Amino acid sequence: MKKDKIIARIAGAASEIGAEAWNACANPAGEDDPHPFTRYEFFAACEESKSATPRTGWQPCHLVIENDGAITGLMPMYLKSHSQGEYVFDYGWADAFERAGGQYYPKLQASVPFTPVTGHRLLVAAGAPEEETRNALLAAGATAVKEFDASSLHITFMTEREWKDAGALGFLQRNDQQFHWMNDGYISFDDFLSRLSSSKRKNLRKERAAVANEGVTFEWLSGRDITETHWDTFFEFYMDTGSRKWGRPYLTSDFFSRIGATMGEQVLLILAKRAGRTVAGALNFKGQGVLFGRNWGCTENIPFLHFETCYYQAIDYAIAHKFTRVEAGAQGEHKLVRGYMPVPTYSAHYIAHAGLRRAVGDYLRQEREAVAENIEALAEHGPFRKTDGNQ
């Protein structure tokens, strides 16, 4: 009897894998509303727009598992020359290793470029053995560290199940936290407000009223309703905010045009207008009943405009469209008082050097305990009335 020939290989850029094979792993059930940040179209937009390329320190080297020539498993992966655009910070590890005479870069990064959103990182096609394929991807990723002469492999914003699988194979496990708004069957924003404590409810109403009193109105755009003029306007916002926060925005203008053209049905662009001018915008993605907030920017300094555009408009949209939650991006304990509750995030790390691996492992054991305690404490002091069972 002929045995299947299973191999692992580095496929290079997303375009070398192709949309059909990639999405067969990213969306094995063939859902009409897939996770937007595992789709081929998002990775291709990052790479073909020159946002994630070797020149910017993101060299595509996506890892695939093949069974008799057919791709049955995929781990999106990049060879990195820095730690920017990842949102799981390892600068301290790099500094310590290099002070001790080691070379931390290059490293391998299995993630979605510039996107702190949880999703599957070990993608398995329909019909392939899931556990076996996931384990093969993890093992091949560890082997790739040696083949690339890299220091490590970092798999970030993975699912909890993948995190446990990686831990069982010896990967170091890390936790952090984000803030997500959960839809508890609300029928309106006022219904949501009614679940908050009195002081928090008054604060949110005050912030929303302040923006409305400035004459600001909002427009929700998706799919073909988003034109190149809209993207040009939003890119201006993105560049202004990115330049002030990071020094070098990651995404090119071509990236936004590409996602609009190839996956616009999963894009929600929220635009704020005053006196006939567009003064702010927030880019969101939609998928699997979740609204993912990503980028924002503005050209006018209006009090509370950021909260309204990014948080409250997103909640309004989620309630209107019966979405289960809103994920508002990385960090930000200021989101807690606005109804976004803390949830854990997961990453796994394979470090080749035994001494560095041991030191990081000791640190992560303490960090995991601290993160769990912090999430519990934050949830206890959340904005919801205790009688609602939200605390």
- The reported pLDDT for the residue numbered 216 is 98
Question: Which superfamily, per CATH, for 184-323?
Answer: Gcn5-related N-acetyltransferase (GNAT) (3.40.630.30)
Q: Which residue type occupies 109?
A: Q
* 101: its two tokens: 């005479």
**Cα–Cα distance for residue pair 159/153, rounded to 1 Å:** 17
**Cα–Cα distance for residue pair 227/322, rounded to 1 Å:** 26
First to last CA, the chain: 59
Alpha helix stretches (DSSP H) within the chain: 14-17, 19-26, 40-48, 91-99, 130-147, 160-168, 189-194, 198-213, 228-245, 253-263, 305-307, 313-320, 354-380
Closest by CA to 208, choosing from 190, 230, 196, is 190
Q: Is 136 helix (H, G, I), strand (E, B) or coil?
A: helix
Q: Is 325 helix (H, G, I), strand (E, B) or coil?
A: strand
Q: Does domain 6-177+343-379 correspond to CATH entry 3.40.50.10440? A: no
Please give the model's pTM, rounded to 2 decimal places.
Answer: 0.95
97, 80 Cβ separation under 8 angstroms: no
**Cα–Cα distance for residue pair 284/291, rounded to 1 Å:** 7
- List Cα–Cα distances, 317 to 11, 69, 229, 297, in angstroms: 39, 44, 23, 19
- List Cα–Cα distances, 10 to 16, 30, 385, in angstroms: 10, 25, 52
Closest by CA to 297, choosing from 238, 257, 242, 248, is 238
Domain residue extents for the chain: 6-177+343-379, 184-323
Q: β-strands 123-124, 107-110: how paired?
A: unpaired
User: What are the percentages of helix, strand and coil residues in the chain, rounded to 5?
Assistant: 45, 25, 30
pLDDT string in tens for the chain (391-residue length): 345 678 999 999 999 999 999 999 999 999 999 999 999 999 999 999 999 999 999 999 999 999 998 999 999 999 999 999 999 999 999 999 999 999 999 999 999 999 999 999 999 999 999 999 999 999 999 999 999 999 999 999 999 999 999 999 999 999 999 999 999 999 999 999 999 999 999 999 999 999 999 999 999 999 999 999 999 999 999 998 766 655 568 999 999 999 999 999 999 999 999 999 999 999 999 999 999 999 999 999 999 999 999 999 999 999 999 999 999 988 788 999 999 999 999 999 999 999 999 999 999 999 999 999 999 999 998 999 876 444 4
Task: Name the strand (E) or helix (H) holding 9.
Answer: strand 6-12
- The reported pLDDT for the residue numbered 1 is 38
* 19: its two tokens: 């949309």
Same fold, 6-177+343-379 and 184-323: yes
Place of tokens 């290099």: 98
**Cα–Cα distance for residue pair 181/338, rounded to 1 Å:** 9
Helices (H) and strands (E) in the chain, counts: 13, 15
Residue 62's region, left for phi above 0, alpha for psi from -120 to 50, else beta, is beta
- Residues 167-207: pLDDT tens digits? 999 999 999 999 999 999 999 999 999 999 999 999 999 99
- Residues 2-48: pLDDT tens digits? 456 789 999 999 999 999 999 999 999 999 999 999 999 999 999 99
**Cα–Cα distance for residue pair 339/296, rounded to 1 Å:** 19
